[in-house]
Structure formats: structure tokens, C-alpha cells
């Protein structure tokens, strides 16, 4: 499994009147970690476009165990756990100081052929090549 971790400090513009991060911003935090993960195997958005495939998120689940608060420093870890038929990434958001898990989530992305607009039911060979799994 490939993973990546990013550090984020919760900014003021992401919080509500209680200084808690609005739930919709969590998707942004996951995206930042996912981009870092995809950089590790050289298949981020520019490489996806060059390969002829788009990878829309078709499912996202988030478990909000503890709130993220203004100025809190957190670590967002993204781990690629499936790649054969789809890209499934698991996430964990933890307090940077204590290591306490605050949130867990996952996203699922599928390949779409950009020329035809058709969804693929298996990941294209380019993904396996980038992961070092192609024959």
C-alpha cells in the first residue's frame, strides 16, 4: 500500500461561529492529502489528463468523531487500498500534537475515458504501470 501524509492548520475562514471546521471543508482536506498521495506514484491530475482518463469521485464517506477547531494542527493521512477496478483511498485525520484520531473517511474514484465519456470497469493499464504492477 502507498500512503502520504500532509499537515494542515485549520484556518479561520474554514470555521463557524463555534470555531469548529464546517463539515464541507473536510472534502478539501482529503483532496490535499489525496493529491500528495497521487504525486508519490506520478499520477496526479496532469498525468491523468495526459493518459486520457478522468477519475471523478463517485463515493465519499466521512466519520466525524471529533471536531476540528480553529488553529488546530492536524495530519491527514491518505492510503491507496484498492486500484484494480477503482481507486479507493482511506483517510485518517489526527491531531498533530497528540496523535488522537479525529476523523476517518474514504473516497472511491473510477476511470472515465475522456474521449468517449464512458466509465471503465477495470483500471486502465497506465495505473498499474505507475504503481509498478504491470507486466
The CATH number covering residue 39 comes to 3.10.129.10
In a domain, 135, yes or no: no
pLDDT computed for residue 48 by the predictor: 95
Q: How far is CA 99 from the centre of its chain?
A: 20
| Cα-only R_g, the chain | 16
pLDDT computed for residue 1 by the predictor: 82
Per-residue pLDDT reduced to its tens digit, 45-80:
999 999 999 999 999 999 999 999 999 999 999 999
pLDDT computed for residue 135 by the predictor: 59
Total domains, the chain = 1
Please tell me the pTM assigned to this model: 0.94
Strand extents, DSSP E, 67-100: 73-82, 87-95
The domain in which residue 115 lies consists of: 2-130
C-alpha cell at 88: 479507493
pLDDT, one tens digit for every residue, the chain (135 residues):
899 999 999 999 999 999 999 999 999 999 999 999 999 999 999 999 999 999 999 999 999 999 999 999 999 999 999 999 999 999 999 999 999 999 999 999 999 999 999 999 999 999 999 999 875
Amino acid at each position: 500500500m502507498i500512503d502520504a501524509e500532509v499537515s494542515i492548520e485549520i484556518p479561520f475562514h474554514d470555521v463557524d461561529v463555534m470555531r469548529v471546521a464546517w463539515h464541507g471543508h473536510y472534502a478539501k482536506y482529503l483532496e490535499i492529502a489525496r493529491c500528495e498521495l497521487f504525486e508519490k506514484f506520478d499520477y496526479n491530475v496532469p498525468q491523468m489528463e495526459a493518459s486520457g482518463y478522468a477519475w471523478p469521485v463517485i463515493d465519499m464517506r466521512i466519520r466525524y468523531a471529533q471536531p476540528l477547531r480553529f488553529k488546530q494542527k492536524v495530519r491527514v493521512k491518505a492510503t491507496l487500498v484498492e486500484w484494480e477496478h477503482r481507486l479507493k483511498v482511506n483517510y485518517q485525520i489526527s491531531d498533530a500534537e497528540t496523535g488522537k484520531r479525529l476523523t476517518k473517511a474514504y473516497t472511491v474514484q473510477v476511470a472515465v475515458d475522456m474521449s468517449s465519456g464512458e466509465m471503465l470497469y477495470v483500471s486502465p493499464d497506465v495505473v498499474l504501470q505507475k504503481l509498478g504492477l504491470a507486466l
